[in-house]
Chain A
Amino acid sequence: MSEQHQQPRVAVHKFSSCDGCQLAFLNLGEDLLALTERLDIVFFAEAGMMNESAEVDIAFVEGSISTAKDAQRIRNIREHSRYLITIGACATAGGLQALRNLAKSDDWVQAIYTNPEHIDTLDKVSPVREHVHVDFELWGCPINKNQLIALVNSLSLGVLPFEETDKLCMQCKRQQHACVMVTKGSPCMGPLTRSGCGALCPAFGRDCYGCYGPAENTNASALGQRFDGVGLLSTQISNRYLSIYSNEQAFACTGQGWNEES
């Protein structure tokens, strides 16, 4: 790549979310300086740069689609972006907000807000892929800096990004942690969950709660049976599956099944 090449233009957008995935950029530290040498960040909500309709090479999108305005914004972003990448559980899979899809959300709105007439949301919370074409999805709640660096490099070099699809157990065993389910009977979601986090929870002796979402080829029902075997109540099993990824088929079926048992 010669120095004369125009640098890729990047935008970071926010929808319904906690901003945690945008923080992965700010947490890059020195690597952020290295990346800004190679990228022009033209829009970054968390860092204060605002220009939603700028033409960009890479648009990173955080957050789920909750309102009619969100749905309109994401189409506008798609039209102005060469690659659109979702970052984190909300944009990729609906995230925590999607829990309201399982409840009578109107009742909650009436009960919680003093002036419920100001609340104007869509009936369902949905991931970005249900609205526009997504080129690549980064899973995690939140994502981490290694995923971002690998993706930016792949796109700028023109190669397919590496998709982490293995079970977390693979990463956990490479770090040689003793399995918390086998040694303590902890209800670990590792055997269903996508690796990439670095096995953070098992490293501290606790069970994975699935924040990186479903891996490929999951057997959610067999693990649910096992959780039942180690003494979890039906509601506890259901909560394991329906917290962050209630909108993902791989977790939702088993989670709802145990919900009906309770």
Chain B
Amino acid sequence: MSFRGFLPRERFDTLFSILHKIGAQCIGPTVKEGAITYAHLSSSAQFPHKVTDQQEPGSYRLTPTTDARWFAWANGPQALKPLVFAPEEILWRSERNATGTIAFTTDAAQMPLTAVIGVRACDLAALALQDQHFLHPQGQDASYASRRRQLILIAVNCTHPSASCFCHATGDGPEVDQDYDLLLDELDHGFAVRCSGATGEQIVQQLSLEPLQPSQLNEIDNANRHAAEQQTRHLPATDLEQVLNTLQESGRWQDIAERCLSCGNCTSVCPSCFCHSQHDVPAADGITSTHVRQWDSCFTQGHSYIHGLVIRNETRFRYRQWLTHKFAGWIRQYGRSGCVGCGRCITWCPVGIDVTEELQGLTEEYNNA
């Protein structure tokens, strides 16, 4: 899509007003609990100001910066996933009446129109993957679908990848090229604006954009190219599906298991992981109960429990499952790898296990065999 114009920084809150006018709540990046996280916002004053992030395996720190841009940082622990695939939600309620029959009622997920400001390319790619899973033609997930319909996606191109990022290697970033309503490029004094679809068009019409200068277009090109070049992590340039499927009995899985806590942080922050479990929460009255779905992980015992048996009872099997499914199984299931290169599993692993390093080690073992 072509550029539609320039939105000066001091008029950015017009966007909030337009979104509120069309009935949308706004969610965007803000500093909370020592990280840049997404929360309900009412104005640009709540964006991160003069702050950036430093990420490395097992470590995330906010640091002050003289850069006055609001989006001069790489993704924090979460973005879109919790909005559409709820971490915990009630699927239905049951109530036993006096005659002993049980009545079921569903809790239709209700999310108002929701504009998410600041979405990055990796998260849009992950959203497309989650769509493939939850909006599958043979079994659409009603709660996911109802929330997904309510999203207005206002992307901002990423110019500050962290040391954990590798979206250039998966082909998912850093430039946004899909599924947005508005796409912004941040410049010193404001934002270059592109749009897509009817909602995006409707918003742009009301923004009273100024013309963009050719020098600004050059600056945007350079910033996007620079963002890709800054990334230091890579994936092995090989057929990972073949490597992983061949090395199922590798000793490396045990080596990883000695470091891995099997805590599930990697799968929880992964924007494409979709595993969940369900259980019932009975009320004290002994009559009513709610059926709850929550995020699960291939690192839990319950994930591989089948009729009296935990199939993956050791960490080496659980890590193998995570890596093999993410980088090999997904290809057969959904036509592409499940990794979008956001690097969250590297930063947010409490002991700093790095998937790119493990995949490199496995590839070397495969090549030397």
Contacts and interface: CB of A to CB of B under 8 A. Distances in A.
30 contacts: A34-B286, A35-B284, A38-B285, A154-B282, A162-B279, A165-B301, A165-B302, A167-B262, A167-B263, A167-B264, A167-B299, A170-B295, A173-B264, A173-B265, A174-B87, A174-B295, A176-B82, A178-B34, A178-B76, A179-B350, A181-B350, A182-B350, A183-B61, A188-B350, A190-B263, A191-B261, A217-B262, A222-B259, A222-B261, A226-B58
A184 interface: yes
A25 B279 CA distance: 23
Given A173-B264, A175-B87, A178-B33, A226 B350 contact: yes
A150 B281 contact: yes
Contact of A34 (B257, B264, B284, B348): B284
A41 B304 CA distance: 39
Interface of A: 1, 28, 31-32, 34-35, 37-38, 146, 149-150, 152-154, 156-157, 162, 165-167, 169-170, 173-179, 181-185, 188, 190-192, 205, 216-219, 222-223, 225-226
Contacts of A165: 300-302
Contacts of A170: 263-264, 268, 295-297, 300
Interface in B85-100: 87-88
Interface string B22-40: 0000000000111101000
A199 to B, nearest CB: 12
Interface in B39-86: 58-62, 76-78, 82
B314 interface: yes
B34 A183 contact: yes
A219 to B, nearest CB: 5
Among B58, B61, B260, find the residue whose CB has the most chain A CB atoms closer than 10 A: B58
B237 interface: no
A226 B279 contact: no
B315 interface: yes
B301 A182 contact: no
B162 interface: no
Contacts of B297: 170
A166 B303 CA distance: 10
Contacts of B258: 219, 222
B33 A177 contact: yes
Nearest to A174: B87
B34 A217 contact: no
Nearest to A220: B261
Given A184-B34, A217-B301, A222-B351, 4 more contacts: A167-B264, A170-B268, A217-B314, A219-B261
Contacts of A191: 261, 263, 265, 350
A183 B281 contact: no
Given A174-B87, A222-B351, A179 B261 contact: no
Contact of B263 (A169, A175, A176): A169
Interface in B257-293: 257-265, 268-269, 279, 281-286, 289
Interface in B296-339: 296-297, 299-302, 313-315
